A and B are shown apart, each in its own frame.
Chain A
Amino acid sequence: MMRRRIGRGLIYLLAIMIALWILIPIYLITITAFSPKDVIYSWPKALFPRVISLETILFFINAQYVLDSLKNSVIVALLSLALALVIGAPAGYGLARHIFPGKDVFRLTILSTRAFPIVILSIPLAVTFMQWGLYDSLISVALLHVAMALPTTILVTSSVFIGVSKELEEAAMVFGCNRLQAFVRVALPLALPGLAASAIFTFVLSWNEVFAATILTLYNRTLPARLFIQLQASPLPFRFAGGFFILIPAITFMFFIRRYLFSLWGITLR
C-alpha cells in the first residue's frame, strides 16, 4: 500500500516536471518581454522580476516596419484561412458523404503530401511568382500557406462532416429543402465549431511560417520574416519582444482549439 502510494506520487512528480519543462521557457520569455531595457542588458538576471515595464514591448512595436509587418501577417493569415476553408471544406465534405471510385487514391495522395518538405515549394514558387508579377506580394505568401494547410484542412473537415449525421440532411430534404439548402441550413451550422478549429489551425500555421515568407517577400514582410531577417542586426530587447509577440497569439488560439487537438494533429497514415 505504502509502496503503491509512493509510486503514484512519483508519477505525479514526473508529470508535473514535464509540464514545468514546457512552461518555464514561456515564463522566461514573458518576464523578459516585460522587463525594462536596462534589465535585459544586465547580469545576472533575476528569475523573478522586480520591475515590470512596457518599455521593451513598446520599443519593439514602435520600431520601423514592425506595425506594417504585423498588419501583413494578419492579412496573410486571414487570406490563407479563408482560401483553405473555401477550397478544402468542399473536398472534406465530399470525402465524408460519398463513396466513389478514386476516393482512396485521393485520400492517399492527400496524406502523402505530408511527406514532402515545404522548403522545396518555396524556391520554385518564388521563381514562378516573379514571372507572374506576384513576387513580394501578400497574396503569393498566402497562396503558398494554403498549399501547406490544404491537406490538413481536407482531412480535418472530412472528419468533422463525418461527425454530422447524414440522416439529418436527408430529413431536411424530405421536408422540402433542396440539396444545397439541406447543407447550408442543417450540416453547416452543426459543423461550424469543427470548421472554426480547422480555420484557426491554418491561421496559426500561416502566422508562424518563416521560410517561405522570407523567400517570397522583399519589402512586404510578414512579422516572422521581418524578425528573421533583422535578427542578427537587432538589439536584444527587439529580439525578445519579437519572440514574445509571435508566441502569444499562437498560444491563445491553441487554447480555443484544444478540444480538436487530436483530430487536427493526430491524423495517422492509416
Chain B
Amino acid sequence: MRWKRFNWEPYLLLLPSTLYLILFFAWPMFQAFRLAFQADDGHLTLAYMQRMFNDVMFSKALRNTVLLITAIVPIQFILALIMALLMMERLRGSDILVYIYSIPLAISDLAAGIIWFSIFTERGYLNSLLHGLGILGKPFLFLNYQTNWPFVAIVLAEVWRATSIVFVILVAGLQSIPRDYIEAAQILGANWFQRVWRVILPLLRPSIQTALILRTILAVQVFAVVRALVGRGMTVLANEAYLWYSEYRSPHLAATYAMFILTISLATAFIYLRALRVKEEIRL
C-alpha cells in the first residue's frame, strides 16, 4: 500500500496569517502582561497593579465604564431586536431600510462623538429645538459634567452608532431560522408575542450570545465618544490607559489598565457563554 502524500498546501496557505497573528497579536498580549507585572529591573511585581487600584481616577473610570455598559448594551439589544423583527415583516422598501439601519457600522466613534456634540452643545441643535418649541428661553448647558446629561449624551451617541452591529448579527441569525417553525407555531395558535418569545428568541440564542459578547467587549473600550462629548469632564478605563501612556508617560500603568480591560472583557464573555448556554438539541 502506498502512503498518501501528505498535503502541505493548507498549512502553507495558513502560515503567513499564523505568523502575523503570533507576531502582532499574541506577542503584544504577552508583552502587555510583562509590562503590567514586571518592573524595569526584571522583577515580577504587583506594584503597578496596586498603584492602579489606589489611583483616585481608577474607581471613577471603572464606575463610569460599568454604568455606561449597563445602560448601553440592554438598550442596544432591545432596539436591535425590534429592528431585526421589523425586517421579518417583509415591508416594502426593506432593502433601503436594511441599508439605512446599517449605515452606523461605518461611522467611527470619534465622528459619532462629534456629531452628538453638535446636538448637545450649548449652541447646538437640541437647545435650538427646545427654544423653537418655546420650552427654553436661553441655552441649557447639557454637557456640564455636574449633571447627568453628559452620561445621557454618551449613551445616546453609542446607541446611535453601535446598535447596527447587533442588528446585523441578529438579522443573520434570523435568516437561519426555518420559516416553517414560525408558521407552525402560528397555525397552532401562537400570537405574535408568543412566537417571538417561545420560538424565535430560543432559536436565536447563538446569535444573541455573539452579539452581546461583541458589544460588551467593544463597550468596555469606549473612548473617543466620551472624549469628543465631554472632553476631560468624565473618564473611562480606556481613557486612563491612554492618559497613562501619552501624558503621564508610564507604559507600565497604561499596560496595567489594558490588562484590566482585557480581564473584564474575558470575564463578561465567559458570563454570557454560561448564562446563555446553547443546548445541543436546539442548535440548528
Q: Establish whether residues A98 and B160, one from each chain, have CB atoms under 8 Å apart when the complex forms.
A: no
User: B residues 80-111 with Cβ under 8 Å of A?
Assistant: 82-83, 86, 89, 91, 97-111
Q: Which of B91, B97, B124 contacts A45 (CB 8 A)?
A: B124
Nearest residue, chain A, Cβ from B259: A120
| B49 interface residue (CB < 8 Å to A) | no
Cα distance A261–B109 in the bound complex, in angstroms = 19
| A172 interface residue (CB < 8 Å to B) | no
Q: Which of B29, B115, B259 contacts A26 (CB 8 A)?
A: B115
Known: A25-B119, A120-B259. A211 touches B14 (CB 8 A): no
| A61 interface residue (CB < 8 Å to B) | no
B-contact bits for A10-34, CB 8 A (1 contact / 0 none): 0110110011011101101100100
Known: A25-B116, A28-B119. A266 touches B168 (CB 8 A): yes
Give the bracket for the number of chain B residues in contact with chain A: 35 or more
A-contact bits for B159-175, CB 8 A (1 contact / 0 none): 01000010011011101
**Best-buried of B106, B206, B269 by chain A (most CB within 10 Å):** B106
Q: Establish whether residues B115 and A247, one from each chain, have CB atoms under 8 Å apart when the complex forms.
A: yes
Q: Establish whether residues A214 and B168, one from each chain, have CB atoms under 8 Å apart when the complex forms.
A: no
| B232 interface residue (CB < 8 Å to A) | yes
Q: Which of A26, A103, A124, A151 contacts B10 (CB 8 A)?
A: A103
Known: A120-B29, A265-B168. A147 touches B223 (CB 8 A): no
Q: Establish whether residues B11 and A100, one from each chain, have CB atoms under 8 Å apart when the complex forms.
A: yes
**Best-buried of A146, A210, A214, A267 by chain B (most CB within 10 Å):** A210
Stretch of A63-71, A191-199, A224-232 contacting B (4+ beta carbons < 8 Å): A224-232
**Interface SS, B side:** helix
A-contact bits for B179-213, CB 8 A (1 contact / 0 none): 00000000000000000000000000011011001
Nearest residue, chain B, Cβ from A204: B106
Q: How far is the CB of B144 from chain A (nearest CB, A)?
A: 16
Nearest residue, chain A, Cβ from B160: A25
| B224 interface residue (CB < 8 Å to A) | yes
Q: Establish whether residues A21 and B160, one from each chain, have CB atoms under 8 Å apart when the complex forms.
A: yes
Q: Establish whether residues A116 and B103, one from each chain, have CB atoms under 8 Å apart when the complex forms.
A: no
Cα distance A254–B108 in the bound complex, in angstroms = 12
Q: Establish whether residues B106 and A265, one from each chain, have CB atoms under 8 Å apart when the complex forms.
A: no
Nearest residue, chain A, Cβ from B157: A25
**Chain B residues near A21 (CB, 8 Å)?**
160
Q: Establish whether residues A43 and B139, one from each chain, have CB atoms under 8 Å apart when the complex forms.
A: yes
Q: How far is the CB of B207 from chain A (nearest CB, A)?
A: 5
Cα distance A100–B14 in the bound complex, in angstroms = 11
**Chain A residues near B74 (CB, 8 Å)?**
none
**Chain B residues near A6 (CB, 8 Å)?**
none
User: B residues 212-254 with Cβ under 8 Å of A?
Assistant: 213-214, 217, 220-221, 223-224, 227-228, 231-232, 238, 241-242, 245-246, 251, 254
B-contact bits for A82-123, CB 8 A (1 contact / 0 none): 000011101101110110100100100110011111111111
**Chain B residues near A214 (CB, 8 Å)?**
242, 246
Q: Establish whether residues B10 and A146, one from each chain, have CB atoms under 8 Å apart when the complex forms.
A: no
**Best-buried of B108, B121, B165 by chain A (most CB within 10 Å):** B108
| A239 interface residue (CB < 8 Å to B) | yes
Q: How far is the CB of B157 from chain A (nearest CB, A)?
A: 9
Nearest residue, chain A, Cβ from B213: A115
Nearest residue, chain A, Cβ from B244: A123
Known: A115-B266, A121-B25, A246-B111. A87 touches B16 (CB 8 A): yes
Q: Establish whether residues B245 and A126, one from each chain, have CB atoms under 8 Å apart when the complex forms.
A: yes
Q: How far is the CB of B24 from chain A (nearest CB, A)?
A: 4
Q: Establish whether residues A113 and B254, one from each chain, have CB atoms under 8 Å apart when the complex forms.
A: no
**Chain B residues near A100 (CB, 8 Å)?**
7, 10-11
Q: How far is the CB of A173 from chain B (nearest CB, A)?
A: 14
Q: Establish whether residues B262 and A117, one from each chain, have CB atoms under 8 Å apart when the complex forms.
A: yes
**Best-buried of A42, A90, A262, A269 by chain B (most CB within 10 Å):** A269
Beyond A23-B100, A117-B261: 16 further Cβ-contacts under 8 Å?
Answer: A18-B101, A19-B101, A43-B123, A45-B123, A86-B16, A94-B10, A95-B10, A95-B14, A123-B241, A124-B258, A143-B24, A204-B106, A227-B110, A250-B108, A251-B103, A268-B206
What are 25 inter-chain pairs, A to B, with CB distance below 8 A?
A18-B82, A18-B86, A44-B127, A44-B131, A44-B132, A45-B128, A94-B11, A94-B14, A95-B10, A95-B14, A100-B7, A113-B25, A114-B214, A117-B217, A117-B221, A120-B255, A121-B32, A123-B32, A123-B241, A123-B251, A144-B24, A231-B228, A243-B111, A247-B108, A261-B105
Which of A's residues lie within 8 Å of B, judged by CB?
Answer: 11-12, 14-15, 18-19, 21-23, 25-26, 28-29, 32, 41-47, 86-88, 90-91, 93-95, 97-98, 100, 103, 106, 109-110, 113-128, 143-144, 146-147, 150-151, 154, 204, 207-211, 214-215, 224, 227-228, 231-232, 236, 239-240, 242-243, 246-247, 250-251, 253-255, 258, 261-262, 265-270
